[in-house]
Amino acid sequence: MAKTLVTGRESMTSKQRVQAFFRNEETDRVPIDMAWNPLIRKRVMEHFDAKTDDELRAALGIDFMGIGGQYKGPDLFEKIPERQVHPYYGWHLRWVEHGEGGYWDYCDFPLEHATVDEVAAWPFPDPDDFDYSHIEARLDTYPDTGFHAGSAGCACIMNTTGFLRSMEQMFVDLVTDDEAGLLLIDRLMAQQLTDTERVLEAGKGKIDFLWMGEDLGTQIAPLIGMETFRKHIRPRQQPFFDLAKRFGIPTLFHTCGSSSWAYEDYIEMGLTGVDTLQPEATNMDPACLKETFGGRLVFHGCISSTGALSFGTPDEVEADCRKTLEIMMPGGGYAFSPTHSLQDNTPTENVIRMYETVHQHGWY
């Protein structure tokens, strides 16, 4: 049997905890989430003697789980040597080595110089090539879990378009109103919106929230200006918020970097909560976020994946986590999570201390 950090003091299910979190209510303990690279996951599983993801989630007390359709259609793109080619979007990835292992990174950018006609002819998946028949049964298998449709990549315009167009050309497209780039954005958003709607329909009211995302800032400043955001980003993401409203569920939005500059607009659009919340980025200090947006937004994240977790001692990790809990917990509306997928250079003992800390000090 796997070891566990769960104390047995819990008086709420994960679903109850997640739903109360979105209502900005205090819970028995803060909801807990995880995000990490495969190597970190493997090391933590070994620590807990966990053989399956279910055992690992139970050991850490994870409250969140995603749900979605499964692509059953044909590969729309040919394989390329030394590349991973996405079967129905067609973007390319190459393997990049680093000191602790490696990862797949985007490359080649097959639509970087594409014309309007070439973008219009680029293959896109048929909505009927996705299978949603398993969704309700999976939700029923885990009735006490807090489920989300979508992900940090849902409704994401700049990153997703950049995978095919290159980030540089994507920014040029937004500034110059390039027809080819804007057409690609609109085709991607239309496909994602249809997919998201079908997931929510298949969930039969058992999905708890919709997760979306857009990387909005560098560590020091916004990636784009407010004029560009309101012209090209906001109107193309609004239908996703409208969809969540139609299904009566809250929304969580992933925003890397210095992103609080856009939060007032997102509140107007129907946003319930924000994710990532890198504390080292400009205007993202947890205390400032809590003071400025507390009660109007809920917060998911704040535990820096590039701070003490990666470069500190276990005691420094604990101090950092306790400080964040003390700031963000009062009044409810906080879910404990790293700001990004933990990278391979993160010491296992730091990850364990992180979750030990929330199970010791994350109680109301």
Write out pLDDT tens, residues 322-345: 999 999 999 999 999 999 999 999
Write out pLDDT tens, residues 36-75: 999 999 999 999 999 999 999 999 999 999 999 999 999 9
Sheet holding 251-255, edge to edge: 64-66, 146-150, 209-213, 251-255, 273-276, 298-303, 334-338
Which residues share a beta bridge with 187?
A: none
Write out pLDDT tens, residues 260-301: 999 999 999 999 999 999 999 999 999 999 999 999 999 999
Q: Which residues contact 323 (CB under 8 A, 6 or more apart)?
A: none
CATH assignment, 14-73+114-361: 3.20.20.210
What is the average pLDDT score of the chain?
97
Containing 121, the helix (H) or strand (E) segment is helix 116-121
For residue 98, name the pLDDT band (cuts at 50, 70, 90): confident
How far is Cα 350 from Cα 364, in angstroms, rounded to an integer?
A: 24
Domain ranges of the chain: 14-73+114-361
Write out pLDDT tens, residues 133-168: 999 999 999 999 999 999 999 999 999 999 999 999
Q: Of 175, 179, 212, give the one whose Cα is nearest residue 111.
A: 179
Give the count of beta carbons closer than 10 Å to the beta carbon of residue 282.
Answer: 17
pTM of the model: 0.97
How far is Cα 319 from Cα 326, in angstroms, rounded to an integer?
A: 11
